[in-house]
Structure 1
Amino acid sequence: MEARIITDRRQWNEFVRDTPTGHLCQTYEWAEHGEDVAARDAALRVGVLDGERLVGAVLLLRSTFGRVPGALYYAPRGPVVPDADGPVLAELMHAAAKLARQRGGFALRVEPNMPDAEPQWAAAFARLGFHPSDHVIYLRNTWILDIRPDEKQLLADMQTTWRYNIGKTGRSGVTIRQGSGEADLDTFYRLQTETAEREQFYLYPKAVFRDMLAHYSPEAAERDATAILTLLIAEYEGQPLAATTVATFGTWAWSMHTGITGDATARKLRPNYLLQWEAMRWARSQGCAFFDFRNIPEVLEPGQPMYGVYEFKKGFGGFFHRNMPTMELVLNPLIYYPYNWAVDLRHNLRARGQKNAAAPDAAHSEAPSKGETAQVETAP
């Protein structure tokens, strides 16, 4: 076996798509969103080849932090390997650590798409020197729906209010259409902006969403075997009420980013229920088997942050899934430990000021923040 940088997009994406531990966030294009050219160019795509066959892969994003020397290399929902006990994981992570260290990396952070219910994964990383970390980018808990049953059964499995709201919204004249072009991107971003201002979460620049729609277009998927991202817009009498993006890759779909108008009259129509239902229907049309609603809170109790988000997702039916812990490998102790201490201090100070902060509402846009500046750090 040989570990090296991989430049073949299609080879990379086909492997990630077809491996059970693969994920949208490990596609070749995930590092290419946004206007930070330096960050895009600094991403590492490390693979292990058995002859000509790719058998392991990890996409590493490079993050820098102000005056902190060096960089943190981060694998969003990676690495992608077939099993915990074979030689591929060790070969891959040794190569990734070497390449990151050569480029000034002081740590590797991984958040694998591997279930917490299978402890052999965490044990395998521990044998390689990784340790659990509280500095998370993606929350460990997600809500997933099996969308293989027919539509009648899916509706029957929903909570009564959810099923009723879907039907009532449609009968009220709300329609859902696929968006395209700059005008629809503007509509989506305006709704995202309204939601971000109302719910107080960080909003990515419009260029990030423009790039995602371009990099995950049907044409790109056909050429490079990558994901497809679509934009869905809910309208009433020609006026946009809500919009969402949903991605498909292999047999999986992900609810990505949602914005909903703050207009009280429009919100009474409850467009977000019908919008999510149409997102599921679109995912089914793409051959998907599972619909990932993405993040739900760490503490599933009323009154806790994001509990309303959890209740909204749960109402569609489905099941709870928990990923293994975020883990880190120290590459340069002289930088890593002071950095870690500073991040912990900043988190604690911010947490004191956020005890009474409102959680996002049922529009369920996630609440990302920049870099290391909040208790939970997320990515697009």
Structure 2
Amino acid sequence: MNFVTHIDEKKYTLFNEKHPNGHALQSIEWGNFKSMGEWTKELVGLEDDNGDLQASAMLLRRKLPGLSRYILYAPRGYVLDYNDVSLIREFSKNVKQYAKKTKAIFVKIDPCIIYKERTIDGDIREDGIDNSMLINSIKDMGYAHKGTTLDFEGIQPRFVFKLDVDKDKDTLFKSFHHKTRYNIRLAEKKGIEIYEGNINDLKEFERIMRITGARDGFITRPLKYFQDMYESMEKQGKMKVFMAKYNVNKALDKSIKDLDKEQNSKKPNEDRINKLQREIPEMKKLAEENPEGIIVSGAIILLNGEKSWYLYGASDNLYRNLMPNYLLQWHMIAYSMDCGCTLYDFRGISGNLDPNHHLYGLYRFKKGFNGDFVEYIGEFDLVVSKFYYHLWEFWVPKIKKLVTRLKKK
């Protein structure tokens, strides 16, 4: 086999889209997007004697501050058959040589390969997939395994929720938990509408993303990050943004009709009549103030081949009782199916399923769509320079902590 460093982009894209382990984060478009910041992208691969790709990687390169050294990162790992250990070994050997030649100190990968197969409740299946031996094999190739953490300690989530969408929409919808189906219908009845956004909608998306970050305790990306992503990926069909809007006028019309129907029924419900009579004046005022509706949540999905990924989600603190996120997810799932996708990836959840854990609600929400609870094998660093890697792993974190302490004094 031949290791190649200049791959035709059409050839690369076709391989990445068709391969079972292809990923949106391994796409050229994602590499172009990340190259608008502090990274640069490089395409490498392994070809057979006929010139057909057997393995590929979109490597992101970043310079280490103050050093003429670099790190390389293949987001979501190499695109190859992980059942073929000899292929992983051959590709890794060539990647390591390439990294050394180009002054990289290590190459990070985080493959979407199952560690131990689990039930939807997170229990390990006794007769399920177990890739413990694969982890050991990869470590024997010179990779440092970063462990099996439970939360979001890594660059990418180690636990995700996936949904098989290779079926008709009615069958899929009926497979959801009854409470999830109820919330989807409730959102529709309460006037929530979903529409495909454009680059102008990202300003509102970023605003509610900041609200989400403040509520859930995570750092959010600036507006330019989402705008760059849109510019790099949307026209190629690799990224879409969807927004959920509260159509107050629509909700008002329904409430007026419901009140009329209740008042004219043979057995009017006085409690419901009183509730509607209290709500309608408030809704009229709200409709006058917001004739175009109110944006309440938004989401970004990535697409690659027959797979789609829910990448970012944001929701306002207001009107969460209208369940917009349930309808938003169902709309994105349906859109992915219309694009020919057979897999919808909800992405990150925590591996800690204690109901008191602060991320348990995220798991409960995604579980309602009746998908698969998936645990991946984790992050690996292919160590190229032991000296600089030790510096990176041991001393850099200590220096950062020291600087933080000094700033607080």
Per the TM superposition, whether the score is higher than 0.5 is yes
Match for residue 334 of structure 1?
Answer: 387
Give the counterpart of 1:242 among 297, 304, 312.
297
Q: Provide Cα deviations, 1:153-209, integer angstroms capped at 9, x if missing partner.
A: 3222222221111101101111111112x3212222222122123323122232332
Q: 1:161 to 1:190 in 2, by over 3 A?
A: same
Match for residue 143 of structure 2?
Answer: 130
Q: Give the letter for the 1:337 counterpart.
A: H
2:29 is the alignment partner of 1:29 = yes
Q: 1:245 to 1:126 in 2, by over 3 A?
A: same
Q: 1:305 to 1:5 in 2, by over 3 A?
A: farther
SS in 2 for 1:220: coil
Aligned residue pair count: 337
2:210 is the alignment partner of 1:193 = yes
SS in 1 for 2:207: helix
Q: 1:157 to 1:37 in 2, by over 3 A?
A: closer
What is the CA-CA distance between 1:346 and the residue it aligns to? 8.1
Q: Give the letter for the 2:17 counterpart.
A: R
Match for residue 62 of structure 1?
Answer: 61
2:147 is the alignment partner of 1:149 = no
Q: 1:269 to 1:307 in 2, by over 3 A?
A: same
2:311 is the alignment partner of 1:256 = yes
Structure 1 unmatched runs, 5+: 222-227, 350-380
* Higher-helix-fraction structure: 2
Q: 1:34 to 1:58 in 2, by over 3 A?
A: closer
Higher mean alpha-carbon deviation, 239-248 vs 80-89, is at 80-89
Q: Give the letter for the 2:23 counterpart.
A: H
SS in 2 for 1:13: helix
What is the CA-CA distance between 1:47 and the residue it aligns to? 0.6
Q: Percent identity?
A: 26
Q: Is the 8 A contact 1:33 1:207 kept in 2?
A: no
Q: Provide Cα deviations, 1:313-353, integer angstroms capped at 9, x if missing partner.
A: 1111111111112112221111211321246658999xxxx
Give the counterpart of 1:207 among 211, 218, 224.
224
CA separation in 2, counterparts of 1:305 and 1:61?
32
SS in 1 for 2:60: strand
2:46 is the alignment partner of 1:48 = yes
Q: Give the letter for the 1:109 counterpart.
A: K
What is the CA-CA distance between 1:122 and the residue it aligns to? 2.4
Q: Provide Cα deviations, 1:100-148, integer angstroms capped at 9, x if missing partner.
A: 2223211121111222133453244233221311472112111111122
Q: Give the letter for the 1:18 counterpart.
A: K
SS in 2 for 1:192: helix
CA separation in 2, counterparts of 1:23 and 1:153?
27
CA separation in 2, counterparts of 1:193 and 1:168?
26
Structure 2 unmatched runs, 5+: 116-129, 148-152, 248-292, 403-409
Q: Provide Cα deviations, 1:8-48, integer angstroms capped at 9, x if missing partner.
A: 222111111111121111112222225745522xx332111
CA separation in 2, counterparts of 1:205 and 1:99?
34
Report 1:71-150 matches (<5 A).
71-85=70-84, 87-116=86-115, 117-119=130-132, 121-134=134-147, 136-150=154-168
SS in 2 for 1:12: helix
